[in-house]
Structure 1
Amino acid sequence: MIEYMKEMDKLGMVIFEILAHVLGIEEEHFFNKNFEEKEAAYFRISRYPPCPLPEKIVEIGIHSDSQTLTILHQDQVGGLQVLKDDKQWAGVRPIPNSFVINIGGNLETNGRLKSVIHRAVVNKEKQRLSIAYFMSPTSNATIECPPHLIHPISNPRKYVPFTWAELRHLLLTTRRVRGEAVALSKFCISN
């Protein structure tokens, strides 16, 4: 398990570098620098037994990830669903030897990236297994949008800078369902 976490951490750092490149961030290790200490990285193995009435059960309720990045491996049974813009649920088809990458709310970079609302459902006949690796920055890391992604007219700053510790505290004191949106709204700049 420790080796798995080390490999997921390496993969996460590569993903951060790719995201920085795609967003046009020239500062080397812009995201990675806040993840040098592993105080807030963890993983969860979830086992979902078969359920005779799957339509009555949602194993992991509707939410978006509050961590910065989630690397998810789901088995071939599947069960991850995402909420589309039209408010319909869509299943995420498992692909062998692949991961699902979820962007957390504190990586939305002023709207350029989006934290997806999702849930996990059970299967009527088969057991399901998933492994999620969650990455968050150090507690004192300041979370703010890179300056070049902000434009006073077309894309004004949406949030005041905050630390992961401040956001985590609010997350722990709000309800899980939609809790992230409530917590992030505390840092929202009103127009």
Structure 2
Amino acid sequence: MPSPGECLARILDEGRYCASRTLGEAGAAELHLHAMERFVALEPTIPPFRGSMNRALFSYGPPVLALYQALMHDLGVDREPALGLAEEMLQAFVRKQLTRRPLLNAAMRVVFRLKPARSLLMRSLRKEEPDGFRFEEASDPGALWAFDVRECALVRFARRHGAPEIVPMICRVDDLVAKELHGLELRRTGTLGTGAERCDFRYVDVRK
């Protein structure tokens, strides 16, 4: 998984056509400059996670916030259009990443269907550290794999910076990734980022 700084650079690159279409070429160039400046200012506030899982799950938070701040505060874009463009750019980046890693996608499908592999992954998710994510395994006979997120580092980070509204777009990245798990479906009733008391991840085998 790329670092937050690398993520921002790639989001700006892969989402450049979205920015150019909305802001014009000059506006897209200005966005690139200001988003990088915003990220440099945010970087000292990124939690120093020890675990690779926490680092990976958190990696979209700072770049999305920097992009959103640049759109609103430097380019004067209103809140809803700024959220919409930031999400367009994020999804363009994620889709490109998914097309570049077919072997990893295939490996994920295998991992999700093998109980020992799921157990190993769950153990890595349950490793707690300050300001990190907190996972709990859940019981759901209708799901191949079920767990809840009870605490979210992205929510804390976004609230600390006065922009909790950016989190739902990052939650929706899970839905994009899940579409690559052919034969599996992610079902959720809510997320911490949208105000629910938990993120209830339920991966269901939908093969016929």
Question: What is the TM-score with the length of structure 2 in the denominator?
Answer: 0.25
Structure with the larger RCO, 1 or 2 (CA within 8 Å, 6+ apart): 1
